[in-house]
DNA sequence: GTCTATAATAGGATAGAC
DNA sequence: GTCTATCCTATTATAGAC
């Protein structure tokens, strides 16, 4: 076989699901091999840096998707509430309606997070910036806008954690509904 | 040696720190042995059920501490805002001012969580109930009180996650300051 | 109650054939 | 690009002496 058994996109999806659900240590190469249908040696051919590189690639691609489906809509020109709604619809899809954990949360756990921490921090900061800019565009003073943005991230992360514990996405769905106003209204 | 090298309380504290920081899979028996000064065989003498039993005991004791230092103050008779402030002061201590992760979050990650999930759900539900009762005592209608309680849990969990990622407890401390009003005010 | 020693398994990672 | 086979280490867990 010269052709890949599984293409990069599908491979990325499998890795994303695993790292999201089980974190870094909790995701074993044997799991990845089983889910992708590749042997461990083949995985090392695709990711010479091993598990850490797999996690890094997943983080980078997830950040790219977040940028395209959530942050970009938030920054588009137009009416503030419309932008908020579009971005949050993207966010809802990004987290599978609250049924998927946040990669930034699960990969920030433990000491192994060291090599990935900078990447995670950058992604979270990008979210903070985008939300802040939106709240400013809504006419809120700078300090208030920053607080609203931080509140939004806090609530998103918290809702995802609670949804995981309760095994119900209800609290996350409600949040998505409420956030556009909470971010932009006086 | 017939006397324990380390007493139950100290042992519990060590386990708590490890499981909090690294989750279930991320906490290895070798870490526990190093931190407690006990050999692995001695750990198995204290916890015949192995790592799962250690995690269960930690969860139970942490729940007990939460009950005593946070939930009980919330339920005490007296002025609502005072009760809220006392409970939240307990909560701040419980999470070391935002520098320690939530055990219920870190142990709810991964498939290993199966055996511990019921315990975690019970603890979170107890928090929801206590916050709800407080909000009701503040005169809020039942449905509103429930929403406020869920919001509180969401914000606490989210702030802890964000604090971990940003390596700064700032967002958690601000939350503790704001929560008494957010829970009780019309 | 703790220890040393050891078993049994699973983990990440590599070599080299095809 | 994928595979089989293998290495080495770490991991959980147990046996039995003190």
Protein-to-nucleotide distance from the CA of A45 to the C1' of D3, whole angstroms: 12
Contact A47, A53 (CB under 8 A): yes
Output the six-digit token pair for A21. 């659900």
Predicted confidence (pLDDT) per residue in B28-77, tens digit: 999 999 999 999 999 999 999 999 999 999 999 999 999 999 999 999 99
Asked whether residue A114 carries a pLDDT value surpassing 90, the answer given is no
What is the number of other CB atoms lying within 10 angstroms of the CB of residue B75?
15
Per-chain mean pLDDT for chain A: 97
For chain B, give me the number of helices (H) and strands (E)? 10, 0
Nucleotides of C under 7 A from a protein CB: 1-6, 10-16
What do you get for the CA distance between the two ends of chain A, in Å? 61
- The per-residue pLDDT for A1 is 67
Say whether pTM exceeds 0.95. Answer: yes
Q: Quick check: B162 and A166 CB within 8 A?
A: no
What is the C-alpha radius of gyration for chain A, rounded to an integer number of angstroms?
18
Structure confidence at residue A115 (pLDDT): 86
Q: What is the pLDDT of residues A128-153, one digit of tens each?
A: 999 999 999 999 999 999 999 999 99
Which protein residue lies nearest to nucleotide C3, measured between its Cα and the C1' atom? B39
Q: Is strand C less than 7 A from the beta carbon of A28?
A: yes
Give distance CA B122 / C1' D18 (Å): 43
């Amino acid at each position: 076989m010269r052709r890949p058994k599984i293409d990069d996109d599908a491979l990325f999806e499998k890795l994303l699901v695993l790292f999201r659900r089980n974190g870094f240590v909790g995701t074993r190469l044997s799991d990845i091999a089983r889910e992708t249908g590749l042997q461990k040696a083949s995985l090392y051919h695709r990711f010479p840096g091993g598990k850490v590189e797999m996690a890094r690639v997943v983080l980078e691609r997830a950040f790219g998707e977040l940028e395209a489906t959530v942050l970009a809509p938030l920054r588009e020109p137009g009416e503030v509430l419309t932008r908020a709604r579009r971005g949050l619809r993207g966010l809802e899809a990004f987290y599978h309606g609250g049924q998927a954990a946040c990669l930034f949360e699960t990969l920030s756990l433990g000491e192994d997070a060291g090599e990935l921490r900078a990447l995670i921090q950058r992604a979270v900061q990008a979210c903070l910036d985008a939300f802040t800019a939106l709240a400013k565009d809504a006419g809120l003073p700078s300090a208030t806008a920053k607080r609203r943005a931080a509140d939004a991230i806090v609530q998103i992360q918290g809702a995802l954690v609670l949804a995981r514990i309760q095994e119900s996405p209800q609290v996350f769905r409600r949040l998505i509904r409420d956030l556009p106003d909470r971010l932009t209204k006086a």
